[in-house]
Structure 1
Amino acid sequence: MHVTAIIPARFASTRLPGKPLLDILGKPMIQRVYERTALAACIQRVIVATDDERIARAVRDFGGEVCLTRPDHATGTDRLAEVARGLDCPIVVNVQGDEPLIDPRMIDAAVTPMLEDPAIAMATLKAPLETWAEFEDVNVVKVVTDREGFALYFSRAPIPWPRDRQHLPAGVTPSELGMFRHVGLYVYRRDFLLRFAELPTTDLERLEQLEQLRALEHGHRIRVVPTGLRSLGVDTAEDLERVRALLAAAVE
């Protein structure tokens, strides 16, 4: 089954302007993301979706495929849907453009349930929460699932809250209690993605600033696949330096 990965990329960024073009050991970040995505076994095609000609030029320069989109999209999902309307593939993967260390196996893991079960319209990933600092960090999105692996809720708040946390054994970690962080990689049936982008925004989505809550509030199920693999998104200058150091160490 043909699977296309789309990488939304915008030049504007509050903390790191021009983030997709920042240099990482001789390559712009968008190229690092593109090349890692293309290594996934399930991916047949990779497209960068951007409204910025500077990013488009950089993608063409390294031989990648790019699609210029409208500049007025409110979200990355809207940009994704614009590109998907022109595709005939049944499955679309949304890979974040600031994940230069994305492990291709994470993409394969998220896509697998969609290949196995045609009833699943949307899938994503979760990874164990390793520390209580992560658990309490509002920038780390948490997810809870039902017994079949479908999302019950996503939140920036620490969920689920252990009522008797003060009585937990010393040294116990959130992961040992079955707590997970959400990994922002999404897989969609193309027809569902187009419908999802047209759904009106919802109260919880606006409150938490989490688009995936729109799907839940409208009654759609999201399959959440566990992974032990980790990536490192680049949101700050410190994140960028960590990525550079990790790649430099891997080359040595």
Structure 2
Amino acid sequence: MSTSTPDDELAGTEQPFVAHLIELRDRLLYCIYGIAAAVIALAIWPGPNGLIDLIARPIRAHMPPDAKLIAIGVFSPFFVPLKVLLLVAVLLVLPWLMYQLWAFIAPGLYSHEKRFALPLIFFGSLLAYLGIGFVQFFVLDRMFAFIQGFTPSSVAATPDIASYVEAILSLYIAFGLAFQVPIVVMLLVRFEMVTVEKLREFRGYFIVVAFVVAAVVTPPDVISQLALAVPMCLLYEVGILGSRWFSRISRAPDDDKPEEAEKASS
């Protein structure tokens, strides 16, 4: 028996559990198709070796001209480029993957929720790209310059490609997630889990949290830790500034009626 009110725009849209499973299967297949297409495109150009050369460029810029990364593992020359190829393919189609997530949950959303859900998903994807780009084009160069500065002249710094790629991928993930701070802040305010005033009072504690997180998830050098903690603090402020606007535009139409009635009575 339905408990929906007559004014509920979702009334009558309930689907059986099997229909949800079929829809989930279709969305997962679309995700796989998108990743597969990206893998094929990247395999053609620039190719797995080209991707390895791209992500190795920051550290090779601070190595001797004739120095190269080494492969200690027997299968590293084969599996490491494939691992990089798959990760880059996933990142490339991230908006498509997020759209499939939105398309799956959209039937259960009200019209005012649909209005902000899709822009929020793509804004989150954009922030993830900004975080990864920040790592690739700003953090790595300065981090390796700092680290190589401590390398004795009698030591040849020739990192293993597998460990290097693992470290770089962990930085990509850490910065991609850390750059979602504005999304988290705006959602917390939107769903009334915290107020803007409380967020401002928590600002000093968040700075401590940001530096602790940066110390845990980044390598033990001050450059990468500052490069993660400082943007997190700035993005926290962005989230505070945007939370009032986001709460206003994502408000349900019925939420405005009590305020209008109160203004009319006064």
TM-score, normalization by structure 1: 0.27
TM-score, normalization by structure 2: 0.26
